[in-house]
Chain A
Amino acid sequence: QQQVKQSPQSLIVQKGGIPIINCAYENTAFDYFPWYQQFPGKGPALLIAIRPDVSEKKEGRFTISFNKSAKQFSLHIMDSQPGDSATYFCAASMQTGGGADGLTFGKGTHLIIQP
């Protein structure tokens, strides 16, 4: 059973465009929703994260939109650049339990920003 579903699997956007990656979760006990960015040969790195008590969070060019009733959240990248080309993972966890269960990841989106 996949608890976090991510789409699309791959995405190609022109420079300056706004790629949007969507995730849906099933477990209502999740209370922390991070996005990770991974470059080839590197470990995932936290990009931005949100808790279910807010509907939107912005950090620089990255925005998370969160819809608690629909159990969905999405990542928007404004003014995308070729350097943003990477694999993006959404994730979810139960931080109130101390995070002991770790992160449940979506399957990833391979994003290419064309110059």
Chain B
Amino acid sequence: DTAVSQTPKYLVTQMGNDKSIKCEQNLGHDTMYWYKQDSKKFLKIMFSYNNKELIINETVPNRFSPKSPDKAHLNLHINSLELGDSAVYFCASRLAGGPDTQYFGPGTRLTVL
């Protein structure tokens, strides 16, 4: 019973394609995040979302869009993929107003050819 799960674990695709990464948490959390980890292992926040508000890091291209069908899911859609999008993407969640711990998923390694 994984707390935060992501699918797929690996994603290889061609430039210009549109792809999605799914994230689900079974912790009852109400705030979810997407982070990008580049080839140098630097982790950077992309989005945070609760049921009221989406906060977007200003450096994230608008080709990236999070979509939340319900409180347990925050999927990441990427349009017109570029070589520079290759990275590991992590979903995370926490309970707003609760313990401060963010729980991370196992990551999705995206490779754009």
A interface list, Cβ under 8 A from B: 32, 34, 36, 38, 41-46, 49, 87, 89, 93, 95, 98-105, 107-108, 110
Contact = CB atoms under 8 A, between A and B. Distances in A.
B41 A49 contact: no
A101 B107 contact: no
A102 B45 contact: yes
A108 B101 contact: no
B100 A34 contact: yes
B63 interface: no
A42 B106 contact: yes
21 contacts: A32-B100, A41-B107, A42-B107, A44-B43, A44-B90, A46-B102, A46-B103, A87-B41, A89-B43, A99-B94, A100-B50, A100-B53, A100-B96, A101-B48, A102-B33, A102-B55, A102-B57, A103-B43, A105-B43, A107-B40, A108-B43
A100 B104 CA distance: 15
B86 interface: no
A95 B31 CA distance: 12
Contacts of A38: 41
Contacts of B94: 99
Interface in B61-106: 90, 92, 94, 96-97, 100-106
Given A43-B105, A43-B107, A107-B40, A101 B55 contact: yes
Contacts of B57: 102
B106 A43 contact: yes
B60 to A, nearest CB: 12
Given A34-B102, A44-B104, A103-B102, 19 more contacts: A38-B41, A42-B106, A43-B92, A43-B106, A44-B43, A46-B101, A46-B103, A93-B100, A98-B31, A99-B94, A100-B50, A100-B96, A102-B33, A102-B102, A103-B35, A103-B45, A105-B44, A107-B41, A107-B42
